[in-house]
């Protein structure tokens, strides 16, 4: 875990060409959301946590570095990671800044974790992270007594200074965001009394599930309308988990699933994908579009549902994707838009406002990428329609601006595997933030990726 994540490296343009068929069995790396939390919760819990299956992407490693700077001992040991945590309430004031590179989840969750400490922490990140809104996390932290110092309002770089004793709050999360929910709950760990988060729309539930596994007192209630109330009792003990297993990332699997659906003759099995229902919206949508995705060998692993996905080339048809499904597939819209470019008819995706504040303005970046590659589409304020060409004829030939966004890069490289003309992306380096194995796995299945001019 060396290096400084926010030092930009030279861009590396990459191109993908139409493949004959993708075949084989692959295992996607660990889930990014769960891996961040494994470092955070292992680092704050007392005693030892051993993590297997951790995603060794740059984003997650940045979180590990930050936890080290605050006193946790974190070492790689063969195929697993061993974390000796500090104990709840016992983080140390870090020396130097915490550099989160491209990582929204790592930075926002850590802001929550350290916010309630009576010391100063400075957060920096790359150009993409420095553009992203942090007010959504800072507003509730301010209510708890945290002071925020930022040159540009609520953007990185910024410093947090916690109060002597933080005030517990009840916070209704104004947007569907697991990061905001998590930041408030994590601030509650070092706050006396009950910290309560009200979540009108359910988002990924890894924080509440994992905190419980690490021994926190977390109480979740869901009312008849689906509104969830999550109450955490602060200043309790957290204990390391002897053997924590990270399931495979469904958001990374998504690229391989769509590639197999689009490339003629493909038959690919993706092993060990997390099937938590707060993460499976893409699979549901693709199946509605006519995708042949077989869920094989469903099982439990690390307290989660996981399964293998057998995916065969399929003729897709356009569908309407309802706004209420967005939280369960929020990171998958770019690659769904690519799938829709090969579907019969029009796909309409609604409720996409949160895409505007991801690693890039993903709605604009997707629309620009579709335009560059001859795909008929229309972009609204919070919606997108894509009209497909099932044989991919005339599609491709463009250079896609990735804006430091790993998912834009991978989505359009998937497009080039099926379009009649190759597709280029202006920079593939960011893929290492979430899915360093992507290029190797695609090549292993028979896909063609090569440097672009
Ligand atoms: C994440 C939550 C989502 C998601 C991100 C990971 C998390 O962000 O897009 O990739 O691990 O909590 P939001 O909370 O901003 O929706």
Triad 382, 384, 386: Cα angle to 5°: 180
Q: What is the pLDDT of residue 152?
A: 87
Class (C level, CATH) for 14-30+248-451 = alpha beta
Question: Which residue, 14, 92, 16, is CA-closest to 392?
Answer: 16
Q: Which of 63, 179, 252 to mutate to test the pocket of ligand 1 (most atoms within 8 A of CB)?
A: 179
Determine the distance separating the centroid of ligand 1 and the alpha carbon of 179, expressed in angstroms.
5
Using DSSP bridges, classify how beta strands 228-233 and 292-301 pair: parallel, antiparallel or unpaired: unpaired
The region that residue 335 occupies, defined by phi over 0 for left and psi between -120 and 50 for alpha, beta otherwise, is alpha
Look up residue 25 and give its two tokens: 């069995």
For residue range 184-211, what is the model confidence (pLDDT) as tens digits? 999 999 999 999 999 999 999 999 999 9
Model confidence at 2, pLDDT cuts 50, 70, 90, reads very low
Task: Decide: 74 and 68 in contact? Cβ < 8 Å.
Answer: yes
Strand partners, 75: 82
Model confidence at 6, pLDDT cuts 50, 70, 90, reads low
Rg (CA), the chain: 21
Model confidence at 3, pLDDT cuts 50, 70, 90, reads very low
Triad 358, 329, 332: Cα angle to 5°: 60
For residue range 71-102, what is the model confidence (pLDDT) as tens digits? 999 999 999 999 999 999 999 999 999 999 99
Furthest-apart CA atoms within the chain: distance in Å? 64
Strand partners, 80: 52, 77
Instruction: Enumerate the active-site residues.
Output: 331
Task: Decide: 210 and 41 in contact? Cβ < 8 Å.
Answer: yes
Return the residue whose CA atom lies nearest to atom 10 of ligand 1: 331
Look up residue 148 and give its two tokens: 């925020």
Q: What is the pLDDT of residue 8?
A: 75
Using DSSP bridges, classify how beta strands 267-274 and 23-27 pair: parallel, antiparallel or unpaired: parallel
DSSP code at position 338: H
Strand partners, 30: 248
Look up residue 333 and give its two tokens: 């819209």
Residue 5 has pLDDT above 90, yes or no: no
Q: What is the pLDDT of residue 23?
A: 98
> How many Å apart are CA 187 and CA 221, to the nearest integer?
20
Residues of the chain above pLDDT 90, percent: 96
Task: Decide: 188 and 232 in contact? Cβ < 8 Å.
Answer: yes
The H or E element spanning position 443 is: helix 438-445
Where does the chain hold its CATH 3.65.10.10 domain(s)? 14-30+248-451, 32-244
Return the residue whose CA atom lies nearest to atom 13 of ligand 1: 177
Q: What is the pLDDT of residue 151?
A: 85
Q: Please give the number of the atom of ligand 1 that sits closest to the Cα of 181.
A: 14
Q: Which of 204, 247, 360, 362 to mutate to test the pocket of ligand 1 (most atoms within 8 A of CB)?
A: 204
SS3 assignment, position 435: coil
Q: Which of 38, 58, 63, 105 to mutate to test the pocket of ligand 1 (most atoms within 8 A of CB)?
A: 105
SS3 assignment, position 84: strand
Return the residue whose CA atom lies nearest to atom 11 of ligand 1: 33
Residue 4 has pLDDT above 60, yes or no: no
The H or E element spanning position 130 is: helix 127-131
For residue range 295-337, what is the model confidence (pLDDT) as tens digits? 999 999 888 999 999 999 999 999 999 999 999 999 999 999 9
For residue range 425-453, what is the model confidence (pLDDT) as tens digits? 999 999 999 999 999 999 999 999 999 97
Choose the CATH number for 32-244 among 3.40.50.450, 2.60.120.560, 3.40.50.720, 3.65.10.10.
3.65.10.10
Task: Decide: 33 and 203 in contact? Cβ < 8 Å.
Answer: no
Return the residue whose CA atom lies nearest to atom 16 of ligand 1: 177
**Number of Cβ atoms within 10 Å of the Cβ of 50:** 17
Place of tokens 């990185």: 156
The residues, ordered by sequence, that sit 6+ positions from 94 with a Cβ below 8 Å of its Cβ are 66, 69, 70, 121
């Amino acid at each position: 875990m060396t290096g400084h994540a926010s030092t930009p490296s030279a861009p590396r343009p990459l191109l993908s060409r139409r493949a004959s068929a993708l075949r084989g069995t692959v295992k996607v790396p660990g889930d990014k959301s769960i891996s961040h939390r494994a470092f955070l919760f292992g680092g704050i819990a007392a005693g030892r946590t051993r993590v297997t299956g951790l995603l060794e992407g740059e984003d997650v490693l940045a979180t590990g570095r930050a936890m080290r700077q605050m006193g946790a001992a974190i070492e790689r040991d063969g195929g697993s990671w061993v974390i000796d945590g500090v104990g709840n309430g016992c983080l140390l004031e870090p020396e130097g800044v915490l550099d989160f590179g491209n990582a929204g989840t790592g930075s926002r969750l850590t802001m929550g974790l350290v916010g309630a400490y009576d010391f100063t922490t400075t957060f920096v990140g790359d150009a993409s992270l420095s553009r992203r809104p942090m007010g959504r996390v800072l507003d509730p932290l301010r209510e708890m007594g945290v002071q925020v110092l930022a040159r540009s309002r609520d953007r990185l770089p910024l410093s947090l200074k916690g109060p002597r004793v933080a005030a517990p709050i009840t916070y209704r999360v104004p947007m569907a965001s697991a990061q905001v929910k998590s930041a408030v709950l994590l601030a509650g760990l070092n706050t006396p009394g009950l910290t309560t988060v009200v979540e009108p729309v359910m988002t990924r539930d890894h924080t509440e599930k994992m905190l419980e596994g690490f021994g926190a007192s977390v109480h979740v209630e869901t009312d008849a309308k689906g509104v969830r109330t999550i109450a955490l009792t602060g200043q309790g003990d957290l204990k390391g988990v002897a053997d924590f297993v990270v399931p495979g990332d469904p958001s990374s699997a998504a690229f391989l699933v769509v590639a197999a659906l689009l490339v003629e003759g493909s038959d690919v099995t993706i092993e060990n994908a997390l099937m938590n229902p707060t993460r499976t919206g893409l699979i549901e949508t693709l199946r509605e579009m006519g995708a042949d995705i077989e869920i094989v060998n469903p099982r439990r692993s690390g307290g989660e549902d996981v399964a293998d996905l057998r995916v065969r080339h399929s003729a897709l048809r356009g569908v309407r994707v309802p706004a209420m499904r967005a939280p369960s597939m929020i990171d998958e819209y770019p690659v769904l838009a690519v799938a829709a470019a090969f579907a019969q008819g029009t796909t309409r995706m609604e409720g996409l406002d949160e895409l505007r504040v991801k690693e890039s303005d993903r709605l604009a970046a997707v629309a620009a990428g579709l335009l560059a590659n001859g795909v008929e589409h229309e972009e609204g304020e919070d919606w997108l329609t894509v009209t497909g060409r099932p044989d991919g004829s005339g599609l491709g030939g463009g250079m896609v601006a990735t804006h430091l966004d790993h998912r834009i890069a991978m989505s359009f490289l998937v497009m080039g595997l099926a379009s009649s003309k190759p597709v280029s992306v202006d920079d593939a380096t960011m893929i290492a933030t979430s899915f360093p194995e992507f290029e190797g796995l695609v090549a292993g299945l028979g896909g063609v990726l090569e440097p672009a001019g």
